[in-house]
């Protein structure tokens, strides 16, 4: 089990990006959260198997059709196991 912490930048707020991330994470069986940040980015913290997290990272870079993702910064850490499910926060 691993933890992915990511920040997506570009045109990612107000275009359904958080809902897209939540659907993808839930489909992949991941736990964690997604939220909008004051700087216009979207932050994601997800935990689960490495293959599922890599699939989520690919989805973060693509985004929904309305979004324009310019970059995704990511950091890998050991899983903590603190999330019961994946949800949109904030």
Looking up residue 53, the CATH number of its domain turns out to be 3.30.70.100
Query: For residue 58, what pLDDT is reported?
Result: 98
The catalytic residue among 36, 43, 77, 87 is 36
Supply the angle between the helices 17-27 and 50-62 in degrees, to the nearest 10: 160
| Tally of domains in the chain | 1
Task: Kindly state the average pLDDT of the residues 27-52.
Answer: 98
Percent of the chain at pLDDT exceeding 90? 99
Domain that holds residue 21: 2-79
22 located within any domain: yes
Query: For residue 79, what pLDDT is reported?
Result: 98
The catalytic residue among 9, 18, 23, 27 is 18
The 3 state secondary structure assigned to the chain is: CEEEEEEEEEECCCCCHHHHHHHHHHHCCCEEEEEECCCCCEEEEEEECHHHHHHHHHHHHHCCCCCEEEEEEEEEEECCCCCCCEEECC
13 located within any domain: yes
34 located within any domain: yes
84 located within any domain: no
Nearest to 12 by CA among 44, 41, 46: 41
Cβ 32 vs Cβ 47: under 8 Å: yes
Query: For residue 41, what pLDDT is reported?
Result: 98
| Catalytic (active site) residue 23 | no
57 located within any domain: yes
Query: For residue 90, what pLDDT is reported?
Result: 80
| Catalytic (active site) residue 18 | yes
């Amino acid at each position: 089990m691993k933890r992915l912490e990511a920040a997506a930048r570009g045109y990612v707020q107000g275009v359904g990006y958080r809902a897209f991330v939540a659907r993808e994470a839930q489909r992949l069986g991941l736990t964690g959260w997604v939220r909008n940040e004051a700087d216009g980015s979207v932050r994601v913290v997800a935990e689960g198997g490495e293959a599922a997290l890599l699939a989520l990272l690919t989805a973060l870079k693509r985004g929904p059709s309305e979004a324009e993702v310019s970059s995704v910064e990511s950091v890998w850490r050991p899983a903590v196991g603190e999330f019961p499910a994946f949800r949109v926060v904030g």
